[in-house]
Structure 1
Amino acid sequence: MTDSSVDYGAVFKALVAPLLVMTPDFVILAASDSYLKVMGRGQADLLGQDFFAVFPPNPNDPDAIEDYLRASLERVVATGERDFMAVQRYDLEATGRQGVFEDRYWSAINTPVLGPDGEVELIIHRVDEVTDLVQQLGRSGERGVTGARAELETMRTDVYVRARQLLDVNERLKQTTSALQEALDRQRRFVFDASHDLRNPITGLLTELEVALSEPDSDLHPVLRKSLRDAERLNDIVADLLELARLDTATPTTTEPVDLAHLVMDELERRTLTATVLTRLDKQVVVCASRIRLARLLGNLLANAERHTTTTIEIIVTTDPPNAVLEVIDDGPGIAPADRERVFERLFRLDDARRQDPGGSGLGLPIAREIAQAYGGHLYAADHSTGARFVLRLPFAA
């Protein structure tokens, strides 16, 4: 239970450890007396000021550590977790002597203070100065045997260099850990969503079979037709998951020259589309890729266009050196600018897509983009006056 009679402000000011309190955007709110003493500043110099404006880096120090300190503070805000910094050099501008910096060495701990909503409200910045220790290493030996000073100077330099190296390694490890955690989170979400999509047709299939078994005299043909559609849907989802697994593991595939105009004509002959298809196909637009995978990419774009179009789908093959360009355009409701990247996220589906095809998995467009990237290209949703326009750009075959 909190004792309201305690003056916590006075306690903070009197703490031996040099402490500074700042906002998540690094505006200084309070400083302990020991912090003011160490820094050679007064309350009026600090309060309400941006930390990096009050303590600018030494412009003459190529190893100025401002970026590391700023990265540490930003990491605290982003993660809500304490961050430790190795020994570092951060020179201070001499009081009343603008542009004149004093050599200073520090270790620091940045600690978040969380609000009721779990967001970072304050940052407590604690420093421990080790300047005297580092400089003592340099001064020691002046009274010793010949060569001691040089050895101790080397030791001092080595300590500082090793600290900087540790700091660099620590920063890289934190970035790698963050990236790995993000990848794991994406993988967990993907497995969960994919399992949900698989469960729907499985549930439908089981229900239809249970009904058929409970009514042995009923006509089985409608049940079998429904079961076949559910089985086909399961097969499509599994095929999509296998394709994504191959793309994720970068499984090498045989490449060959592929004429995009021929690819489009072959795919249109193979498919029976309900919409009218218009084509404008330049000749001799050749790329180097797997014909099977490019057919999968084009098939996914056509399936998406057919799902959303009103009457007409347009396919264009042209050139924009050094790239070959393939466009698939429909005259449906189109894609809002804010959603043009989201449609390439795995399992993401717009509300309109869910209405048009409730059994869809949301994997077609992500697979198409990853196939494009596998061959050095890019697939994106572009502006169009009516409907959606998907543009594939691939390098010309050498």
Structure 2
Amino acid sequence: MDTMVDYEAVFAVSPTPSLILTPDLVMVAANAAYLEAIDRTAGELLGRHLFAVFPPNPAMIEECDTQGADTLGASFARVLTTGRRDFMPVQRYDVETPGSPGMFEERYWSTVNTPVLGPGGDIELIIHTTEEVTEFVSALRRSREGVRGARTRLEQVDVDVYARAGELQMLNEQLIRTHNRQRETTSALREAIEQQRRLVFDASHDLRNPITGLLTELEVALAQPDIDLQGILRKLLRDAERLNEIVADLLEVARLDAGTPGGAEVLDLGYLVAEELERHSPAAAALRTRLQQHVMVRASRIKLARLLDNLVANAERHTRSTIEIVVSVEPPEAVLEVIDDGPGIPPADRERVFERLCRLEEARLRDPGGSGLGLPIAREIAQTYGGRLYAADSPRGARLVLRLPLAAA
């Protein structure tokens, strides 16, 4: 038959001094063994903060030796951070003499702090179990005093035991942190290797398409001497331009990964955009601009031009008829917006489009030869100069927004 366990009764009669605290270190229960060990009543403890009832010994603070309270607090912090039981080395923590405020008794403790998790996995309580080892430490001291004329091993233990225990605790924490860092580094390296593998595979596939087109057109031209040479040359030019775009994207990715952003200078963003649009105005769409002048930013002219080209090229691939480009100021930032009247970007995909090699189905249908690197490169350039690039809400089409910190002219 099943037996119901009265855990409250078990706790009350446990021979191990135990105290139950909330995560804020307010005492809510103490068993008889604990009350006897610290010579207090439940009324003096329950509902009060642990360190309010057991403050550090002022004499130890004057000696810059607060390790008892500090180490106990650090143990509670580790429990709350990790959700795991924490074993403390032997610590000195003096207790105020009952009925004699300001008078402290030298006491030594061996302590374990254990979290109690709720149904959702959050820490609801902490069980603080402790054994007093003051007599053991006193015996060590008496043994040392009985040995004259030599620095014995027992004396060394008495002098160093607490410092060594603390050092061991610190070393253990350092090892845990080092292990976690190594694990994170290994995970990051694996992800970087996998990303590079995908990049090489997809780039090779993208390069093969225009190369295949070039080879096919050349074979046709050689096999049919009377073919339309101008038409063949136009097709070859388009394939060569696609090759150039893909190679330029790969070179830019390599530069960004190598951390070589290029020199920065103070630039008028509106003037730069106007100048670049004169050189490379979209051919497949009407262009509307609202370019505020004297919008000063600090960046590389070449990198910003590349960022703008990538945004305009993306808009040109998706727009139906019109592309709008706006430069404005929203202190403390300069703002560049590229807006098209195409199908837009679904909210769920607005971050995905900035992942390397990510191409949505609609983009693949419109431009099968794209590399999937244009928008990721644009965002990384923005971040290089302290800015951000994102897809924003728009009543029509896609709206890509670049924000850069304003710079003094």
**Larger Rg, first or second structure (1 or 2):** 2
Deviation at 1:345, TM superposition (A): 0.9
Q: Tell me if 1:102 matches 2:102.
A: no
- AA at the equivalent of 1:247: L
Q: What TM-score do you get using the length of structure 1 for normalisation?
A: 0.67
Contact 2:113–2:127 (Cα < 8 Å) also in 1 = no
Indicate which of 64, 74, 77 corresponds to 1:62: 74
Aligned equivalents of 1:185, 1:261: Cα separation in 2: 39
Distance 1:168 1:207, change over 3 A: same
Find the residue that maps to 1:397 and give its secondary structure: coil
Q: In the alignment, what sits opposite 1:383?
A: 393
Contact 1:380–1:392 (Cα < 8 Å) also in 2 = yes
1:96-175 pair list within 5 angstroms: 101-103=128-130, 141-142=140-141, 144-146=143-145, 147=155, 148-175=157-184
Q: Tell me if 1:281 matches 2:280.
A: no
Deviation at 1:67, TM superposition (A): 5.9
Q: Tell me if 1:362 matches 2:372.
A: yes
153-162 vs 338-347, which moves further: 153-162
Deviation at 1:58, TM superposition (A): 9.4
Superposed CA RMSD: 3.7
Aligned equivalents of 1:56, 1:374: Cα separation in 2: 46
Contact 2:210–2:240 (Cα < 8 Å) also in 1 = yes
Deviation at 1:216, TM superposition (A): 5.5
Distance 1:343 1:137, change over 3 A: farther
Unaligned runs of 5+ in 2: 1-6, 12-19, 26-71, 90-110, 117-124, 146-154
- AA at the equivalent of 1:163: N
Aligned equivalents of 1:233, 1:224: Cα separation in 2: 14
Q: Tell me if 1:186 matches 2:186.
A: no
Q: Tell me if 1:238 matches 2:251.
A: no
Distance 1:101 1:70, change over 3 A: closer
Contact 1:57–1:92 (Cα < 8 Å) also in 2 = no
Q: Percent identity?
A: 54
Distance 1:247 1:145, change over 3 A: same
Q: What TM-score do you get using the length of structure 2 for normalisation?
A: 0.65
Deviation at 1:173, TM superposition (A): 2.1
Contact 1:138–1:152 (Cα < 8 Å) also in 2 = no
Aligned equivalents of 2:84, 2:187: Cα separation in 1: 13
Aligned equivalents of 1:136, 1:360: Cα separation in 2: 78
Deviation at 1:391, TM superposition (A): 0.6
Find the residue that maps to 1:180 and give its secondary structure: helix
Deviation at 1:224, TM superposition (A): 4.1
- AA at the equivalent of 2:199: F
Alignment deviations for residues 304-337 of structure 1 (CA, whole Å, 9 cap, x no partner): 1111111111111111101111111111111001
Deviation at 1:99, TM superposition (A): 6.4
Unaligned runs of 5+ in 1: 1-40, 46-53, 73-84, 105-131
Deviation at 1:223, TM superposition (A): 4.2
Find the residue that maps to 1:303 and give its secondary structure: helix
Contact 1:346–1:363 (Cα < 8 Å) also in 2 = yes
Deviation at 1:154, TM superposition (A): 2.7
Find the residue that maps to 2:263 and give its secondary structure: coil
Aligned equivalents of 2:272, 2:87: Cα separation in 1: 58
Deviation at 1:288, TM superposition (A): 1.4
